[in-house]
Amino acid sequence: MATYLLASSPIHGHVGPMLQVGSALRARGHDITMLTGSRFRDAVERRGIRFEALRGRADFDDRDPDTYIPDRERYRGLRRAQYEIRSLFVETIPDQFQSVSRLVQELSPDAVLVDNAFGGAVALTHVTGHRPVVAALGVTPLSQTEPGIAPHGMGLPPARTAAGRLRYRAMGVVAQKVLFREVQQVARDMYASIGQTLDFPIMDVASRYDAFFQTGPRALDYPRPHLSPNVSYIGVIPQDPSAGEVPDWWHELDGSRPVVHVTQGTIDNLDFGRLVRPTLDALAGDDVLVVVSTGNRPVADLGPLPANARAAAYLRYDELLPRTDVFVTNAGFGGTQAALSYGVPLVLAGVTEDKPEVTARVAWTGAGIDLRTGTPDAAAVGAAVHRVLDEPSFTAAAARLQREIAGHDAVDEIEQGLARAAASRSLPRPHGA
């Protein structure tokens, strides 16, 4: 069996799938060490996995954004995306690199597997001499420059005409030379600080790994005639069956009325007025059951609930989603994929981080409605939910994605992909490995 070092940005939506993969690989007999933020120590060690903490700026607590993205409210739209990318994923590169390099020297792993935002690991591919396979797991939508596709982060569907392709090409030049110039320069500075030269656009990092395992079904991404050959689509990482609760009102999910699930995830849930409250208000008088997950915040923070609403801090998706008719979400990629793995259509309201790309992709497939705002009013949410309930095309599109997902075994494809990458490498193994 192999020795694998897993490393993840200390963000719940990144650590979760990485930890699921690590647990599954450990159950198959592999030796697993996981490097991530200090706050996840207990979660990692509960799985019987060796834990190592990131160092310096790379070790932040995603539950307290004021400590790592303190100026986020100063920005809107693309400027906010730039600020968050720079703060979370670029300025942390030197400390990530130092942390993972130390463990590579100590463990001599067969492979290093990181989440796609862990930029410090791709620097390992530039190290001369002996090194392990360096692979990444795409826990956010794939970012790769492609003709006919808008710059990543803009949340736009593929171009349909020659004029559209020319427009996107121009937008790409502007994005690289102007809009993301500062992010690229900071990335160059970070690489220079560890003695390396950055010779590629930082948003195209996926192509630089020995193997890149993109979560989600292939049909959830756009046509990519020039897809990097190291990229493979592996379906959906299974949910943790032990996560969440089954409340005493669970018997009410008996199929007698449609179930609408709404959540703002575990990070962007400080203000339930952004999405949860508008959903509750919109559906208060309807013959549906609204099920709220607060993302581990106290249920009391929701305020008074309508008679047709039920709430819990954290729910078991393997029990909830098979009983759900519509999923209303701020477009976290993990939750979106989970819904699609059960054929559940969506109503999405996402404008930060990778969420514009998630909403645009789902709308493009026909499996949901993009509300095009992170703060929709009750009327907009209600109209979208009823449209999804009333028009069979949304459920049919979600079912098509579900069938593709069912054809994958994500962990098996990762395990085999790592083995192939290790076998195909021409570099000799490190001494003693």
**pLDDT tens digits for range 254-307:** 999 999 999 998 777 778 999 999 999 999 989 999 999 998 889 999 999 999
CA angle 421, 423, 428 (to 5 degrees): 110
- Can you give the length of the chain in residues? 433
Of the candidates 17, 402, 21, which has an alpha carbon nearest to the alpha carbon of residue 217? Answer: 402
Q: Report the pLDDT value the prediction gives residue 349, as an integer from 0 to 100.
A: 96
Residue (of 237, 214, 216) closest to 227 by Cα position: 214
Task: Name the region of 296 (left: φ>0; alpha: ψ -120 to 50; beta: rest).
Answer: left
Instruction: Say what the pLDDT of residue 241 is.
Output: 66
Distance between CA atoms of residues 6 and 136, nearest Å? 9
Place of tokens 């992709």: 361
Phi/psi of residue 225, each to 5°? -60, -25
Q: Per residue in 289-313, is it b (16+ CB within 10 Å) or e — as a string?
A: bbbbbbbebeeeebeeeeebbbbbb
Contact (CB, 8 A) for 334 and 13: yes
Q: Which tokens belong to 348?
A: 């999405």
Query: Residue 433: what pLDDT?
Result: 36
411 within 8 A of 25, measured Cβ to Cβ: yes
- Residue 410's alpha-carbon distances to 24, 217, 354, in angstroms, are 10, 10, 22
- The pLDDT value given to residue 430: 37
Alpha helices in 262-301, H assignment, sequence order: 276-283
Task: Please give the Cα distance from 55 to 230 (Å, whole number).
Answer: 29
Instruction: Catalogue all structural domains in the chain, each as residue range(s) with its CATH number.
Output: 3-235+408-424 (3.40.50.2000), 250-406 (3.40.50.2000)
DSSP string across 23-46: HHHHHTT-EEEEEE-GGGHHHHHH
* pLDDT tens-digit readout, 172-181: 888 877 777 8
Element (H, E) at 20: helix 12-27
Given this model, what pLDDT does residue 427 score? 43
Q: In what order do the strands lie in the sheet with 346-348?
A: 309-312, 289-293, 259-263, 326-329, 346-348, 368-370
* Nearest Cα to Cα of residue 25 among 96, 83, 109: 109
What pLDDT is stored for residue 78 in this prediction? 67
Question: 100 to each of 71, 119, 130, 209, 273, how far by Cα in Å?
Answer: 28, 11, 15, 15, 40
294 DSSP 8-state letter:
-
The single residue listed with the structure tokens 């004029």 is 163
**Tokens read off for 41:** 């120590």
Positions in the chain whose pLDDT score sits under 50:
426-433
